[in-house]
Amino acid sequence: MATLGMITLVVDDYDRALAYYVDGLGFTLVEDTVLDSDQRWVVVAPSSGGARLLLARARGEQQVAAIGNSVGGRVAYFLYTDDFDATYARFSAAAVEFIEEPRTERWGRVVVFRDLYANGWDLIETGSASGGRSATGHAPN
């Protein structure tokens, strides 16, 4: 059985990204290893389960252009919570940019937000809080 372990998120600056994801969103810093004078291996995770994010500093024009636009403006990341109200309140206090009001769908509660780099995220609490949504329960973002 295979699992998705890590996703790369291209950022402009390691420390700025860490401040946002760890200090702002409450993610855990899993690893921060210096590889050379210009590159680090920086991994964060929202919890102990699920995929991790590799925060990769952009190198070159093509990667810089991809910051915040890795999926062409669509929601790229889906963050599941078992306590929507508490997570929404914590993110609001951290000045997270919500682009809509929270709404209730047949499969659970959701709100779309943009991260520091304008990547789209869904914050989701499903009825079972398991994180699984069927194709017919997928939010149209």
- For residue 75, give the nearest of 114, 47, 36, 18 by alpha carbon: 114
CATH code where residue 41 lies: 3.10.180.10
Q: What SS3 string covers 112-127?
A: EEECCCCCEEEEEEEC
Question: What pTM, to 2 d.p., does this model score?
Answer: 0.85
The tally of domains found in the chain comes to 2
- Domain hosting 28: range is 1-67
Nearest to 129 by CA among 64, 83, 62: 83
Considering the domain architecture, whether residues 21 and 76 belong to the same structural domain is answered as no
CB distance 14 to 31 below 8 Å:
no
18 and 46 in a single domain? The answer is: yes
pLDDT in tens, the chain (141 residues): 888 999 999 999 999 999 999 999 999 999 999 999 999 999 999 987 889 999 999 999 999 999 998 888 899 999 999 999 999 999 999 999 999 999 999 989 999 999 999 999 999 998 754 445 544 455 444
Asked if residues 78 and 68 have their Cβ atoms less than 8 Å apart, the reply is no
Contacts of 109 (CB under 8 A, 6+ apart): 84, 102, 103, 124, 125
